[in-house]
Amino acid sequence: MPTLPWTVPNPAPQGAEVHVFASRFETRTIWGALRFLIRTPGVWRQVSRAPGAYGASLKAEPFKRTFWTLSAWESPAALKDFARSGTHAPTSQGLSAQMRDAKFATWQVSSDDLPLDWTEAFRRLT
C-alpha cells in the first residue's frame, strides 16, 4: 500500500495552534498487518469527514508489519472524539490483540506549518 497523501478534511484557520498526533503500530503477524490494511479504508473515510481534523496521512509497510499515522487537529478534544467514535473505535479495539508494539507522540504547531512533514513524526516516534 502506498502512502496515503496528506488529506485536508477542514482547512485550518491561519496562525492557529494545531494539535499534532503521530503513531506507529507494529503487528505481531502478517495476518495482523492484513487485518489492519483491510480496515484502513473505513477509518480513512471517517477521518476525511471528521470535525476538527485539519489533515492526515498514513504510511504503510505491511511486509514489515508497520504502520505510521500523522494527523493535525483543532484540539485534543477533536482527536479524542474521532478516536472514540465511528469506524475508528471498533477498529482500534478489534485490532488491539494483533499489536506487538504501539507508540504515540503529540505536539503543537502553527497551522501555517501545515501540511506536516514526516521527518518530525519519525524523530518523535523512534
Full-model pTM: 0.93
* Domains identified in the chain, total number: 1
Per-residue model confidence as pLDDT tens digits over 107-116: 999 999 999 9
Residue 116 DSSP code: P
Instruction: Write out the residue range of the structural domain in which residue 14 sits.
Output: 4-125
Say how many C-beta atoms besides its own lie within 10 A of residue 22's C-beta: 22
60 vs 23, 66, 70, 107, 125, CA distance in Å?
Answer: 12, 6, 12, 22, 15
pLDDT at 61: 94
Those residues of the chain that have pLDDT short of 70 are 1-2
CA–CA distance, 114 with 43 (Å, rounded to integer): 21
CA–CA distance, 88 with 66 (Å, rounded to integer): 18
pLDDT at 1: 53
Cell 505510521 identifies what position? 68
CATH number at residue 121: 3.30.70.100
User: Chain-wide mean pLDDT for the chain?
Assistant: 95
SS3 112: helix
pLDDT at 3: 87
Which cell numbers in the block locate residue 7?
Answer: 488529506
